[in-house]
Structure formats: C-alpha cells, structure tokens
Amino acid sequence: MHANVKQNVIPITAPGLKVACSQCNLRELCLPFGLSEDDMSRLDDLIGGGRKLKRGQHLYRAGEAFESIFAVKAGFFKTDVLTEDGRDQVTGFQMAGEILGMDGISTEVHTCNAVALEDSEVCLIPFTELEMLSSQIRSLQHHLHKVMSREIVRDHGVMMLLGTMRAEERLAAFLLNLSQRFTARGYSPAEFHLRMTREEIGSYLGLKLETVSRAFSRFQDEGLISVQQKHIRILDIPRMKALLAPPDGRIG
Amino acid sequence: MHANVKQNVIPITAPGLKVACSQCNLRELCLPFGLSEDDMSRLDDLIGGGRKLKRGQHLYRAGEAFESIFAVKAGFFKTDVLTEDGRDQVTGFQMAGEILGMDGISTEVHTCNAVALEDSEVCLIPFTELEMLSSQIRSLQHHLHKVMSREIVRDHGVMMLLGTMRAEERLAAFLLNLSQRFTARGYSPAEFHLRMTREEIGSYLGLKLETVSRAFSRFQDEGLISVQQKHIRILDIPRMKALLAPPDGRIG
DNA sequence: AACTCGGGTTGACACAGATCAAAGGGGTAC
DNA sequence: GTACCCCTTTGATCTGTGTCAACCCGAGTT
C-alpha cells in the first residue's frame, strides 16, 4: 500500500540538494538580504539542508518543540491555528523567500500549523545558531528584526481587513496582495494559479467558502477578473484597487 | 490659556524621573526579564528618560520616523492603523510592562498610531542602541526576539477572534484577556476599569459600538458581569470562559 | 442648580453574509 | 479509460450585526 500524500508525515529530507544562499535566486527577498559574500557563507554554514515536502504535508504542527525557522525555497504554504473547540483560522499563505515559524520563538513551542499547499522545499534555519551568528553580524541581526517586524505589520493589515472590510473588498485586497507578491518574484502580476481552496481563502478572509465563490463570480461578471477554477487572471487592476477605497471617499 | 489635554502634542519629558530597570516593579514583565543585575544596569544606561503623556496624547503617529521602541511604565495605550479612505482599526491595547512600537522596525517608519488612553508614562528605548547591546547580551537578544514573537502570536489570536467568533464570543474573549493581564500585574481578575470607549472596543473587535453595548447589556442580564459605564465586574468567570467553547463542542 | 456635551443604551428595521441544499466539473487513482 | 471524490458554483432562505434614530446619563462648566 502506498503512503497517501495527505497522510505521509515522514519528513523527506534531501541533504544532498543543499543550495548555498549565495547561489539562491531568492537571496534578495530572503534572510540573507544585504549580507556580504563573506557573511552569507557564514549563514550558509548554519543553514541545514533543504527539506522537501509533498502537498498536504505538515512542515510543523502546533505543540511541537520550536527549534528552527524556515525559509520557503520553493512552493506554497499555509499557516493556521485551531482552538480546542474546533475553530480553524488560516493566518497566512507563504511563498518563496518568505520565513515561516517565528510564532514559535516566544514559547519555544509552535503555536500554529504550517502545511505545504503544493510540493515544496524549505531551508531549515536553526534558531539558536541564527541568534549566535546574528550577534556577530549586525546586518543579519537587523534584517532578522525587520523580518519579524514585517510579520507584525502584515498581521495588522489582516486585522484591518477582517475588522473593517466587506466581503468583496477582502477578496480584492487578497488578490492584489498575491499579485504584488508574485510580481516581486518575477511572475505575472495579472495571471496566477491559486494554490489554496475557496475554503482556505474564506478562512483567511473571515468568510465562508460560498461567499468567496460568489465574490469571484461577481468579479467575473463585472469583467474585473476571469476565473477558471484555481486559475485567476486580473483583467482590470486599477478598478480592482478602486474597490478598496469605497465610494464615500475620504471622510474626516 | 491652559493647554487642552487632548490637543497638547508637546512631549512632556521628565528626565529627572528616570527609574532604573533594576528598581522597576515591572522588570519581570518587561524587556529586562531574565537579565543579571550587571546586564540590567547596561540596559539602564541606554534607556532614555521616561516620557509622560496626558490622556489623548500621541506617543507616535503613523508616518513618523522610527527610532525607539517604548515600554509602558504606567498607564494605558491603544494602537490603531488607518487607511487613506478613512477606515480605522484598533490593533491593540497596551498596559504596563508591554512594549510599543515594534511595527516601525521593518521600514524605519511607524505604521500605526499610539495614543495614551489615560495619563501615562513610557520608557524610551533607542532601537539601534538596543540592537548593539543585545548583540553583546545573549539573554537580552533572546528576550527581545521572544517579545516580538509574542506580538506575532497575539496578533494571530486576534485574527482568530475576528475571523471566527461571533459578537458575544469576541467580547468575552476580550474581557478574559484583560482580566488575565490585570491579574499578571497584581490587580483583581474580576473587577477593573475600562480605559477605552465602546467605539474603541468595537473597532478592536470588528464590531460597531452599538453591538458592543448590547453584548455588555446581555451579559449583565444573564448575570455574567455587572457593568456601570466603564467599571466592569466579572461575576462568573467560568461561565464566561465557557462562552468561548460553543455548545456543539469539539467536532472534528 | 441648570446647561452642555460626549459617551452609552435601547429600539426598529435593513441587509450582507451565513446556512442549507443541490447539482456540476475536474483532477486523481485505479 | 473510467469512476469517484472533492472542490466549486448557484439558488433559496435565515439571521446576526449594521444602520438609523431617539433618548439617557454623568461629568464638567457656568
């Protein structure tokens, strides 16, 4: 019997596939940003080999001991928290060059789950060693702080979205955010493939999957986007952006 | 003419009132947690004098250059973000021992506003110097990371609240959170004074002020709490906690 | 003591999004 | 190739919260 993709929890490590930060085309987005060649090779030394995950596999789970943060080398992840009463909230989607696992630093235990939404690969960054090195390399230390701060700012943006926006605004903000992040990685700003289900989008946006689906349909009817299952094409980015600034405008 | 409390934006600095971390009764909650006497005095050296704020005064505003983080020494703050189209989202309430301003690290510019909700005092912690010192003191470095990580985890909790809870659950979670934080500071878990308006609570919880008010009234009718304006007494903490785990229970 | 004003409460009604239900479509496993 | 299952779409109805409006209360002012 073959291991089912969704149930296979055995980590697939591939130490042979390690690629140095200095060789990585994500170095401008990722943790080594701004480091000298020399410092980058010191960072290389502490980064564990890449770890590959199949779609559906957990990178880590809430409750597991925290030891490392992870840089997404390739693929796509979601993070979610769930309460004892069964509530489930997707807290973010992470793509190449983004850092996962910083929630675990505060208590030494992961507080959310990280799941690969497609076959993916991460770099493993042992946190104690990273702290050690960052105390020696100022720019690394500062960049780490920036990465953590950026996560805080991002979360505030999601709070704004969840606290003040209506369904279509939320979805527009979500699509524009994805678009912008794909652009930063050299992909098309207008055309991309969603790796997550409507339900996962809904959980992230505080909506039910039917509402997400209806909003997609409405956008399509209005000629804003074209949707074919998970394939999205944004046809009118300016009008999409205008959705975020409601008609009543800037009222003091 | 006397300066109006709400309009006075001139920082009131009181260098003479500086209290060393080692003398501060918040040291177990605040940044110096876990430091040796010796290291604590080095931290003392970089912390600027306290800054006092009147109710309504801004500690910092979105758009201002970031230079320091702040530790609340006394009083009560809110942070909020607002978009160009006038939306306003309260992202948190901070009390003694909590750290403010970490949102500014990532871009060197503050991304939210911090406002004193009562007469307050903060310690000013210049961030560049803090990074310098934390590269020398391992436990300080690690604790700083923990504080930032805790902020991320807290934000995930708010996302859960905004994304999955109904109005009364949100308010219950909010009150229990306040209760727990007051307890940690040696105050009553059951009886406290709200420093924020219904509208600010509503903004934080993603609700309108009328909904907050109705939820308070309902709780009072049910004998869960007693409310007298901003004075709150939680009469039945266990039942309050039970509100967070809906009746349908743990459904897989 | 009367006035004022911001914050809070309460009621009536509207509506966005949830819920319930059913059917269609595409990918994956065999 | 075919079948199954999950994901998605769409419709009908329900409901929690928002909206609008009136009134109340308490603190500070005159």
DSSP secondary structure string for all residues of A69-105? EEEEEESEEEEEEE-TTS-EEEEEEEETT-EE-GGGT
Nearest to A250 among B85, B152, B251 (CB): B85
Q: Between B113 and B246, name the one with better pLDDT.
A: B113
* Angle at which helices B138-164 and A198-205 cross, to 10°: 110
C1' of C28 to CA of A79 (Å): 25
Classified as helix, coil or strand, B110 is coil
So what's the pLDDT on residue A49?
A: 76
Sequence-ordered list of residues with C-beta below 8 angstroms from that of A196, at least 6 positions apart, any chain: A76, A78, A90, A93, A117, A204
Question: Between B133 and B84, whose confidence is greater?
Answer: B133
> What is the CATH superfamily name and number for domain A12-149?
Jelly Rolls (2.60.120.10)
Per-position pLDDT tens, chain A of length 252: 333 333 333 344 444 456 788 888 899 899 999 999 999 999 999 997 789 999 999 999 999 999 999 999 999 999 999 887 888 999 999 999 999 999 999 999 999 999 999 999 999 999 999 999 999 999 999 999 999 999 999 999 999 999 999 999 999 999 999 999 999 999 999 999 999 999 999 999 999 999 999 999 999 999 999 999 899 999 999 999 999 875 544 333
Domain residue spans in chain B?
A: 12-146, 165-244
Give the C-alpha separation, B106 to B104, whole Å.
6
C-alpha distances in Å from residue A154, one per residue of A59, A61, A216, A252, B99? 21, 22, 24, 25, 18
Asked whether the beta carbons of A212 and A169 are under 8 A apart, the reply is no
Task: Give percent of chain B with pLDDT exceeding 90.
Answer: 81
Q: Is 2.60.120.10 the CATH classification of the domain at B12-146?
A: yes
Window A:124-183, CB contacts with B under 8 Å: 131, 134-136, 138, 141-142, 145-153, 155-160, 162-165
> Which site among B29, B68, B93, B153 would you substitute to test the A interface, given the most A Cβ atoms closer than 10 Å to its Cβ?
B153
**In Å, what is the separation between the CA of B1 and the C1' of D12?**
65
> Is any Cβ of chain A less than 8 angstroms from the Cβ of B86?
yes
- CA–CA gap between residue B2 and residue A182 (Å, rounded): 54
Q: What is the mean pLDDT of chain B?
A: 90
Which nucleotides in chain D lie closer than 7 A to a protein CB? 7-12, 16-21, 26
Q: Which residues pair with B231 in a beta bridge?
A: B193, B228
A107 touches chain B (CB under 8 A): yes
Q: What is the pLDDT of residues B37-63, one digit of tens each?
A: 999 999 999 997 789 999 999 999 999
Q: CATH assignment of A165-244?
A: 1.10.10.10
> Do residues B76 and B99 lie in contact, with contact meaning Cβ atoms separated by under 8 Å?
no
Question: Which residues numbered 150-209 in chain A sit less than 7 A from strand D, measured from CB?
Answer: 194, 197-199, 209
Confidence of residue B246 (pLDDT cuts 50, 70, 90): low
Query: Read out DSSP for B235-252?
Result: S-HHHHHHHHS-TT----
Cβ of B134 within 8 Å of Cβ of A135? The answer is: yes
In this predicted structure, the answer to whether residue B237 has a pLDDT above a threshold of 90 is yes
Beta carbons of A28 and A40 less than 8 angstroms apart: no
- When CB atoms are compared, the residue of B136, B151, B163 closest to A203 is B163
CB contact under 8 A, A160 and B106: no
B86: tokens are 């006038």
Q: What H or E segment, with its residue span, contains residue B180?
A: helix B167-184
Comparing CA positions, the residue from A165, A51, A211 lying closest to residue A60 is: A51
Q: What is the CA radius of gyration of chain A?
A: 19
Confidence class of residue B18 from pLDDT cuts 50, 70 and 90? low
A5 strand D contact, CB < 7 Å: no
Task: Fill in the DSSP letter of residue A112.
Answer: S
A81 close to B (CB below 8 A): yes
Inter-CA distances, B12 with A51, A70, B47, Å: 53, 44, 16
DSSP A4: P
Q: Which two tokens stand for residue B234?
A: 């939680």
Chain B residues with CB-CB distance to A31 below 8 A = none
Per-residue model confidence (pLDDT) at position B245 = 74
Nearest CB to A135; choose among B86, B141, B156: B141
Measured distance CA(A168)–CA(A41) in Å, rounded: 46
> Quick check: B249 pLDDT over 90?
no
Residue A165 corresponds to which tokens in the numbers above?
Answer: 């926006």
Tell me the nearest-neighbour CA distance from A237 into chain B, angstroms. 18
B248 min Cα distance to partner chain A (Å): 8
Task: Give the dihedral sign, CA B160/B163/B164/B165.
Answer: positive
Q: Which helix (H) or strand (E) holds A68?
A: strand A68-74
What average pLDDT does the segment B84-97 reach? 93
Q: Determine the distance in angstroms separating the CA of B105 from the nearest CA of chain A, rounded to an integer.
A: 6
Cα torsion angle, B157, A78, A246, B167, sign: negative
CA dihedral B128, B129, B132, B134 (to 10 degrees): -110
Give me the residue label for tokens 């040291």. B27
Residue A130 and residue A101: Cα distance in Å, rounded?
Answer: 13
User: Which two three-digit tokens encode residue A208?
Assistant: 């039910």
3-state SS class at B228: strand
Report angle CA A37, B138, B180 to the nearest 5 degrees.
120
* C-alpha separations of A57 from A1, A14, A54, A119 in Å: 18, 15, 6, 9
Does A153 sit within 8 Å of B148, measured CB to CB?
A: no
Strands (E) across chain B are located at 12-13, 48-53, 58-60, 68-74, 76-82, 88-95, 99-100, 113-116, 120-126, 191-193, 225-228, 231-234
Burial (CB count within 10 angstroms: exposed 0-12, middle 13-18, buried 19+), residue A186: exposed
Average the pLDDT over each of A81-85, A116-120, B110-114, B173-177 and give the range with the smallest value: A81-85
Q: Quick check: A242 contacting B, CB < 8 Å?
A: no
Residue B230 has pLDDT above 60, yes or no: yes
